[in-house]
A and B are shown apart, each in its own frame.
Chain A
Amino acid sequence: MAETAATWPDDIFEVFRQMGIRQVAYVPDAGHTRLIDLCRADNRIRAVGLTTEEDGVALLAGAWLGGQRGALLMQSSGVGNCINMLSLVTQCRFPLLSVVTMRGQWGEFNPWQIPMGQNSGEQLRLAGTVVYPVEEGSRVGETVEAAARIDFEGGVSAAVLIGQRVIGTKTFGGAALEESEP
């Protein structure tokens, strides 16, 4: 069943606060709805809606150049959009913290989500990113914190992939499976 009272978005937000995240870039995903709302409501965080995820990679590199930490929120389909822009991060050793909500994994009804959903982790690894899959909601917060530390202290790209089982297949719009949003 869907985790209607899931606390992991709040856990991530708390990590963002503790880690001094100042810019949060995102292409919306249903799984990130609450976290995006929390970031948008906090005047210490600049929430930047993007038209494509690769812009978030570049944006957060620029933020770091200017002395601010950031995080990129996206769904697994967005990972594919980021690949070439990750060369900016790896070549310059910019830190990049990505939090990816997975589709195409657990009871997915839309087959077009499967190519990226099944391969995002490998594609990120090939592009030089440290990947942390997490399949339990209670471990999301600590995983994001671990990724943030290796990011900002190690100058690398790290991505937390939150499994579709954590997000809850049926939470998308609260609709029945066959009526879920694309």
Chain B
Amino acid sequence: MSEKSESFVLRRRAVVAAILDGRGDTLVVAGLGSAAWDVTAAGDHPLNFPMWGAMGGSVAFALGLALAQPERRVLVLSGDGDLLMGLGSLATVAVQRPANLAVVALDNERYGETGMQETATAAGVDLTAIARGCGFPLARTVRSEAELAAAIPEIRSASGPAFFTVKVRAEKLPLALPPKDGTVLKNRFRRALLGEEAG
């Protein structure tokens, strides 16, 4: 077993804030739990869709959005637990090859909302290798500040589908909760993206 995730260098809130800094018109999907709180801590935004449930569904959800909006960057920020539940969706994305979709796995090797139990990545399961094996043309693992700085331009604009595992420290952080009402999240997103009549 390698280094424990409690001592990983990168901190998830700073990672997400750096990725979303100057996000422009990027469409952001956040998987349930800590990823949704991280995205909200970086600044609530009408073009955020933070999940409160639907575990395993963030990537497939973002794929439907990316196919519907091929001119816009679609970014998934999600945890290893959510992504492990929906591994098959990585195969589906790779087959569809949406150039505008990037997936960032905030991998702390823990189920953060349920007591910090280890996920399969703590035992060595490699999400980047899985994405590469599915056929993502770009798949990378980020462990340091320098690697993050190099990856951010790719996360924002590299031709995808692109997959990044960012190894982040296992830590309990203050909650930063987005709106909980799903119709509010949906309607404000559609208005911001499609115009007032779309809400």
Contact yes or no, A55 B183, CB < 8 A? no
Contact yes or no, B60 A55, CB < 8 A? yes
- One digit per residue, 1 when the CB lies within 8 angstroms of any chain A CB and 0 when it does not, for chain B 6-19 equals 00000000000000
Residue B130 interfacial (CB < 8 Å)? no
Distance between Cα atoms of A86 and B189 in the complex (Å): 20
Chain A CB within 10 Å, residue with most, of B53, B67, B185: B67
> Which residues between 37 and 82 of chain A lie within 8 Å of chain B, taking CB atoms?
46, 48-52, 54-68, 70
Distance between Cα atoms of A96 and B78 in the complex (Å): 24
Complex interface: chain A residues within 8 A of B193 (CB)? 65-67
Distance between Cα atoms of A92 and B178 in the complex (Å): 14
Distance between Cα atoms of A23 and B60 in the complex (Å): 13
The bracket for how many chain B residues form the interface is 35 or more
Contact yes or no, A55 B92, CB < 8 A? yes
Residue B69 interfacial (CB < 8 Å)? yes
Contacts A65-B189, A88-B182, A92-B185: A46 and B92 contacting too (C-beta < 8 A)?
no
Contact yes or no, B88 A52, CB < 8 A? yes
- State the Cβ distance, A95 to closest chain B Cβ, in Å: 11
> Which residues between 69 and 123 of chain B lie within 8 Å of chain A, taking CB atoms?
69, 86, 88-89, 91-92, 95-96
Contact yes or no, A50 B69, CB < 8 A? no
> Which residues between 130 and 165 of chain A lie within 8 Å of chain B, taking CB atoms?
none
Contact yes or no, A23 B64, CB < 8 A? yes
Residue B198 interfacial (CB < 8 Å)? yes
Contact yes or no, B60 A58, CB < 8 A? yes
